Structure 1
Amino acid sequence: MPRPDHIRALHTALLTALRGLPVFPLSRTKLPAVRSPHRDEPRSTDCRGECGRPGHGVYDATTDPDRIRALFAMAPWATGYGIACGRAPHHLVGVDLDVKHGADGMAALAALAGRHGFAMPPTVTVRTPSGGRHLWLTAPGPVPNSAGRLGPGIDVRGAGGYVVGPGSRTVAGHYLLEPGTARHPLAPAPPALLLLAAPPAPPSPSTGEGAAPPRHPAEKRAAALIRFVLDSREGERNGRLFWAACRAYDAGLGDALAPALVTAAVHTGLGEREAAATVASAGRLRAAVEP
């Protein structure tokens, strides 16, 4: 008999898909719930579903109700669902406003809007277990993912990323629709916000006057952690991945950086399932020690 959390997640995932937003099941750790079909293969793979089998995370996302039910049936432990960002026709952009680790994403976004002269439109909004908010916006095309680039506590989920859908239950708690926003249409992202979310220009090789400014500290931190994992050698891959994931969660980058850390670990030869489990363990550890 499916558990109530599983049934609720499936029901709300189906409702979300009716809005034209592709969904897929998540575990309580917010990682994809359907296991990779390549987990026992001796070599890592970059398959994103070309093999025709489920178990490719965000690339499984669909709006087909029969397919959604089938994915949830494969993962009876799923208690939530992810919504793929960056997919046509909406090109969903999830603006993740954190209020933890000393950051206040909502205040930071208000300050950003004031500095750049734009207003955030009313749109579907989701409350996170930590008290933050996810704002659902649309864009003319795919927007890149970023963590902290726009300001402390502001992460952007774009192409290749996902947001946790309302009605999901995770180890941290429930994701719920903000009252009064469920009937809002998906609002277009302000053009000024999209410009700010665009990837920074490549740094200039010049080190003298006129050199490009350094990247945002959070972005540099994320790149350093990914490089740390990529530099792992056999026998130390799991330990280095766990250390990097813990540091990412300490810095408030864990949820945004988890998929990239798993991908980096897979490139070093670690199995995808093992890598995902290691990152999830780091997330559980940091959640357990948070006040």
Structure 2
Amino acid sequence: MVRSLLGNVDAQCHVRAAWARAPFNVGIATGPSGLLVVDLDVPKSQNRKGSSDAPDGAATFAALCERAGHDVPDTYRVRTASGGMHLYFTAPAGVRLTNTTGTVARSVDTRAWGGYIVAAGSTTPTGAYEALSAPEAAPLPLWLQTILQPALKPAQTPSGVAAGQSRRYADVALANETRNVAGAQPGARESALFRAARALGRFIAWGDLPRHVVEQALQEAGQGAGLSAAECRSTLRSALDWSITHNSGRREAA
């Protein structure tokens, strides 16, 4: 049984009374607790057989950190019952991040508003949740926040306004995002490229910009900032595919 706990005196009394009768597991509502937890999964085939050709979430996340120019963050972490890992971060003030599945990378999910995680010390039929470090969560890294925070959507084009206005808006956005990528500093280059592709993908979905024009502009900007051609292609492909899929049909017809 999992019970969410509130940090007040009444809740503490209820907890003491409950634990006096039997042990219970603990669930943490991540959003209200000011937390974002990165859930590094283990492939199901690896859970069952002890090996898998697919990389686990920890390996994938470490590779992502390296590509972003950072070490894996040093923060409070918990080994999950399945053998995966929970990395705890304090959520940024004024930003309401939600749960994600596969947005960061394969086998890398997040829990924030609308989600919860099982706390260390809990035991389930599949195993125990074990704390692996001192209980202090680091702030969410900015480069990771840029991946998790959805790009702002432009205002809807009013009915009757010529489509040329929307195309001009798209051209300005392309120039701005390209400039942002080209001027990105070491350690923030890939996240800047990812964010720009997410922002511009909607214009491809809406027919305002051709995909090859966006890809060429951002590829050149990314390489000019110091990223390799392969890094740019991989980041652009995943970010544009996601943005196009999630923005198709969202703008009302004029």
TM range (shorter): 0.5 to 0.7
Describe the SS at the equivalent of 1:62: coil
User: Partner residue of 1:190?
Assistant: 141
Q: Choose which of 69, 91, 110 in structure 2 pairs with 1:156.
A: 110
Q: Choose which of 79, 87, 107 in structure 1 pairs with 2:24.
A: 79
Q: Choose which of 121, 127, 145 in structure 2 pairs with 1:173.
A: 127
User: Partner residue of 1:98?
Assistant: 41
Measure how far apart 1:72 and its partner are: 7.8
Describe the SS at the equivalent of 1:195: helix
- Answering whether residue 97 of structure 2 is matched by residue 143 of structure 1, we say yes
RMSD: 3.2
Q: Is the 8 A contact 1:98 1:105 kept in 2?
A: yes
Q: Deviations over 1:109-156 (max 9, x none)?
A: 111111112233322110011211101111223322101110011111
Tell me, which stretches of 5 or more residues in structure 2 are unaligned?
45-53, 154-201, 212-238, 247-254
Q: Which amino acid aligns with 2:63?
A: A
Q: Which amino acid aligns with 1:70?
A: H
* Structure 1 CA distance for aligned equivalents of residues 138 and 131 of structure 2: 16
Q: Is the 8 A contact 1:119 1:190 kept in 2?
A: no
TM-score, normalising length: structure 1: 0.47
Describe the SS at the equivalent of 2:37: strand
* Structure 2 CA distance for aligned equivalents of residues 210 and 73 of structure 1: 63
User: Partner residue of 1:215?
Assistant: 242
* Structure 1 CA distance for aligned equivalents of residues 116 and 131 of structure 2: 16
User: Partner residue of 1:112?
Assistant: 64
User: Partner residue of 2:10?
Assistant: 66
* Structure 2 CA distance for aligned equivalents of residues 207 and 79 of structure 1: 54
* Structure 2 CA distance for aligned equivalents of residues 210 and 74 of structure 1: 61
* Structure 1 CA distance for aligned equivalents of residues 7 and 108 of structure 2: 28
* Structure 2 CA distance for aligned equivalents of residues 93 and 65 of structure 1: 25
Distance 1:105 1:72, change over 3 A: farther
Q: Which amino acid aligns with 1:114?
A: E
Q: Which amino acid aligns with 1:206?
A: W
Q: Which has the larger radius of gyration?
A: 2
Q: Which amino acid aligns with 1:192?
A: W
* Structure 2 CA distance for aligned equivalents of residues 163 and 182 of structure 1: 18
Q: Is the 8 A contact 2:76 2:87 kept in 1?
A: yes
* Structure 1 CA distance for aligned equivalents of residues 23 and 111 of structure 2: 21
Bigger fraction of residues in helix: 2
Distance 1:164 1:200, change over 3 A: farther
TM-score, normalising length: structure 2: 0.53
Distance 1:107 1:165, change over 3 A: same
* % identity of equivalent residues: 34
Q: Which amino acid aligns with 1:85?
A: T
Q: Is the 8 A contact 1:148 1:155 kept in 2?
A: yes
Tell me, which stretches of 5 or more residues in structure 1 are unaligned?
1-26, 34-57, 221-291
Distance 1:173 1:199, change over 3 A: same
Q: Is the 8 A contact 1:82 1:164 kept in 2?
A: yes
